[in-house]
Amino acid sequence: IMGYEGHLLQVPDPDEKRQKIEEAMRTLVGCKTAIEAKGIPCEIVSAGGTGSYQITSDCEGVTELQAGGGIFADPMYVNKCGLTGLDYSLSVLATVASRPEKGRMVLDCGRKTMHPDFQLPLVKAWPDAEVTALSAEHCAVTLGPESQDLKIGDKIELIPGYADFTTILHENFYGFRNDRLEVVWPIQGRGKIQ
């Protein structure tokens, strides 16, 4: 049996969030018990997404977690769902395409590269640079004093605000270790949502 407590991911108070998720899991496990009482085997109780698995994993009777996006620990899950203990691991490589003024740059990536609806991307390695908008193919960034020396042609890594919707826009993951390309993994599910 599968349940998903997605309606509770963004409950701001941690104690209230825990209480409500535990209640939802008791209901789900109760359904498993009712199914088995009718003579139907039910070995798997699957629940928990990236925004809730840290609580759901403590719930008695849950045998499987569905925290797929947790592998990337994106800013949406960290800032809006309270995810802790994981580092960001997905980035998108972009190029500075324009420097229209000292405190601003435009990158060669936009909504066709990263999904911005839940949270705008973060600029990796430049904490004083802030993404302000994404058009279809461009990303507007305001720059603080430490990032103002970036030049046209410089490569910038962005941490997608919501990795789940970003991954389905691409054909492959490129795995780097020590600044060297180590592996290319095809994204098998890309374009398969119907």
Contacts for 134 with CB less than 8 Å, ≥ 6 apart: 109, 110, 111, 114, 116, 120, 121, 140
What pLDDT, in 10s, does the model give residues 151-179? 999 999 999 999 988 998 999 999 999 98
Q: What is the CATH number of the domain that holds 133?
A: 2.40.37.20
- Are 56 and 11 contained in the same domain? yes
Tell me whether residue 180 is in a domain: no
The model's pLDDT over 113-152, given as tens digits with 9 standing for 90+, comes to 998 888 999 999 999 999 999 999 999 999 999 999 999 9
pTM for the whole thing? 0.87
Q: Are residues 157 and 109 in the same domain?
A: yes
- β strands within the chain, DSSP E: 46-47, 64-65, 92-101, 104-107, 122-123, 130-134, 139-142, 155-159, 172-177, 180-186
What is the extent of the structural domain holding 32?
6-66
Residue 94 · residue 158 · CB < 8 Å: yes
| Cα–Cα distance for residue pair 188/123, rounded to 1 Å | 27
Q: Does a structural domain hold residue 78?
A: no
Type of residue found at 188:
Q
Q: Tell me how many domains the chain contains.
A: 2
